[in-house]
Amino acid sequence: MPKIIGSSLAEHRERTRSALFAALSHLMRERGFDAISLADIAAEAGIGRTAVYNHFPDKESLLLAFIEHETAAYVRALEESLVSVEDPVQQLRVYVREQLKLERSYHFAPGPDLREVVSHDAAAHLREHVGAVEGVLRGILSRAIEQGDIPDQNLDAVVQLVHACLSGRRLPRAEAERERFLDATELFVLRAVGARTAQSVRAADVA
């Protein structure tokens, strides 16, 4: 019988899943999802391969559980960072910066895009997790339109375009360059959706 990690079966299960998630994240950053096996992940986590099957039947199901866990935690943190911000344009600024600062191992993994190496059903699940984050952005833009802060626009298209701009971007390591990158991207997104920025207000006053 495998050794129980923690004081209860529930704690054991949670610790085992956390260890497997950490191992998967690390190995994906090093090699990419398609280049690792479930046995590699188990070895990295220090868990017997047979014990892994008590939690996940295959590598793909582990990946989906990991992404679901990461996405849920991120959405909770994102919503908490927005709760004290009332102005939707300021919320959009926060959203842009939080998205850029987020470094998902499955976005920066070497090798082919995940959607190219998983099954059709798994790819659909990946899209669902993206949709959870996009839902936060859609809510911000909807409120901005309702308040007249940005023009009415096709949110289906705009949400995808904003995410295409933000996803998979590596921030510069140097603090000054990092801040300039954040400022430039924030301004680009605000201008793209038609929000009035400090620069646009000054330009209108001059005109």
CB 96 within 8 A of CB 78: no
Percent of the chain with pLDDT over 90: 46
- The predicted-structure confidence for 18-46, as pLDDT tens digits, reads as follows 999 999 999 988 888 889 999 999 999 99
* Number of domains within the chain: 2
64 and 53 in a common domain: no
53 and 94 in a common domain: no
The more confident residue out of 181 and 203 is 181
107 and 11 in a common domain: no
95 and 12 in a common domain: no
The more confident residue out of 16 and 205 is 16
With cut-offs at 50, 70 and 90, classify the pLDDT of residue 77: confident
With cut-offs at 50, 70 and 90, classify the pLDDT of residue 200: very low
**Using CA of residue 151, residue 152, residue 157, residue 158, what is the dihedral sign?**
positive
53 and 65 in a common domain: no
- pTM (global) more than 0.85: no
Instruction: CATH number of the domain at 78, please.
Output: 1.10.357.10
119 and 78 in a common domain: yes
Burial classification of residue 153, based on how many CB atoms lie within 10 Å of its CB (0-12 exposed, 13-18 middle, 19 or more buried): middle
Instruction: CATH number of the domain at 10, please.
Output: 1.10.10.60
101 and 3 in a common domain: no
198 and 106 in a common domain: yes
Percent of the chain with pLDDT over 70: 86
Which of these three, 34, 57, 80, is where a domain ends? 57
123 and 21 in a common domain: no
Burial 171-206 (b: 16+ CB within 10 A, else e): eeeeeeeeeebbeebbbebbeebebeeeeeeeeeee
DSSP string, 69-126: HHHHHHHHHHHHHHTT---HHHHHHHHHHHHHH---HHHH-SSS-HHHHS-HHHHHHH
13 and 106 in a common domain: no
Distance from C-alpha of 104 to C-alpha of 147, rounded to nearest angstrom:
33
- The predicted-structure confidence for 132-153, as pLDDT tens digits, reads as follows 888 999 999 999 999 999 999 9
| pLDDT for residue 133 | 85
- The predicted-structure confidence for 91-129, as pLDDT tens digits, reads as follows 999 999 988 887 654 544 445 567 677 777 877 777 777
Report the chain's mean pLDDT, rounded to a whole number: 84
92 and 152 in a common domain: yes
Quote the domain boundaries for residue 21: 1-57
Distance from C-alpha of 38 to C-alpha of 88, rounded to nearest angstrom:
43
| pLDDT for residue 113 | 66
| pLDDT for residue 198 | 52
